[in-house]
Amino acid sequence: MTTRWRSAAVALAAVGLVVGPVGAGSGAVHAGDAAASAVPGPAATVPAPTPTPASDGFAQLTPAVTRQLDAAIREVLAEAKIPGVIVAVSAPGKGDYVRSFGIADKATGAPMTPNLNMRIGSVTKTFTVTALLELVDEGKVGLDDSIGKYVDGVPNGDRITLRELAGMRSGLFNYSADEDFYKAFTANPDRPFTPQELLGYSFKHPVLFEPNAKFYYCNTNLILLGLVVEKVSGVPLDRFIDREVVAPAGLKHTVFPTGPEFPSPHAHGYTDQTASGKVEDATDWNPSWGWAAGAMISDLPDMRSWAKTLATGTLLTPATQAQRLDVVDALPGTGYGLGIFNVQGWIGHNGSLPGYGSLVLYLPESKATLVVLLNTDIGYQGQEPSTLVGEAITKIVTPDRVYTLPAQPAS
């Protein structure tokens, strides 16, 4: 899900599965990712897959398969005009594929390398929801509590539950799709936004549907859950996630910035979500507008580790993890649980915000991990760049489990 805007009307639909997207996401100004409303066009052309998958469905990463992956990823980058990408694919006993392609900085021509920090957009949602679920395990909140118990002034707040917020079924309007928000952000991408300001952009709109009536990827939901974590824990969200999620997960280079700070080394990110519509360098834009839905930063090793932690639930009780993974139909071929999706068996999340895209996945049957980090959020023929790369890779390594993520229809 993303956080991309795509247009003022569709904008910033998903800071998630991209803060921007799950399926286009976080709105255009993605902060996450299932969000864009454009109908996806054909994917970039990639070489026809030839490997025969093993009995567990994951191909051996032989030199021949490695060469095929190299060719497929380069083809996508060239066709979709993606500046650079970092990729890791692995499964126990099958090998380890770690590569970077393209450039990290258009101004200097510096190459993309696997050690760079990247903004992860709506993958942030997986950390926020994990923080909430830890409080559930501690008996401090209940998933079926109403949001009105914790935050005043929410439309239908006495009827929308925390479970419905985490599952993208609240019916609230996505603040990142509000035209005034889009204008404010693009007029000054360096300005900070408070959670209350973001909610204001949402709450001036009528609700879209009754609670739990259907799926709608919405960054507003995560802003509310972030406020719940803060109220119940008594700790700012960034500090709580660092202490209770990032540190216990053993992540060394994952941070929740409170401003535009961006640890070095990092790739420059490029977006067309701008006031002029022209492509600009968004590296140092302030991600506060994404906050609990899409502000975080990480790197390849941490995301490879997080993919497994997230999907297997090592920070949660088995009962709570089971609720998280209890997905319901969201988009064709895609189920969404509590801050997590299942696309053809791949469990995880995507992310997108101006300048960056991400994909963090785990395939339980093969214990396989797939991570894609890009320095652009500019789509190609209606698809997120992370979706294009993920599809090209899975056509080769898991041809029976191809990652395809359709766009969320406009509401």
Q: What is the mean pLDDT of residues 356-368?
A: 98
List, for residues 21-68, the tens digit of each pLDDT value: 565 544 445 554 433 322 233 344 444 445 555 556 899 999 999 999
pLDDT of residue 57: 87
Q: What is the mean pLDDT of residues 81-98?
A: 98
Q: What is the mean pLDDT of the chain?
A: 90
Greatest Cα pair distance, the chain, in angstroms, is 58
Strand blocks (E) in 75-203: 84-91, 95-105, 110-111, 118-119
At 77, the pLDDT band (50, 70, 90 cuts) reads very high
pLDDT of residue 406: 82
At 297, the pLDDT band (50, 70, 90 cuts) reads very high
Strand blocks (E) in 112-267: 118-119
Residues in the chain, how many? 411
CB 98 within 8 A of CB 300: yes
In what helix (H) or strand (E) does residue 4 lie, and over which residues does it extend?
A: none
- The whole-angstrom separation of Cα 156 and Cα 161 is 10
User: What would the two tokens of residue 111 be?
Assistant: 């190459």
Q: What is the mean pLDDT of residues 79-87?
A: 98
Question: Shortest CA distance to 41 belongs to which of 67, 80, 70, 8?
Answer: 80
List, for residues 163-214, the tens digit of each pLDDT value: 999 999 999 999 999 999 999 999 999 999 999 999 999 999 999 999 999 9
pLDDT of residue 407: 76
φ, ψ for residue 161, nearest 5 deg: -95, 165
DSSP 251: -
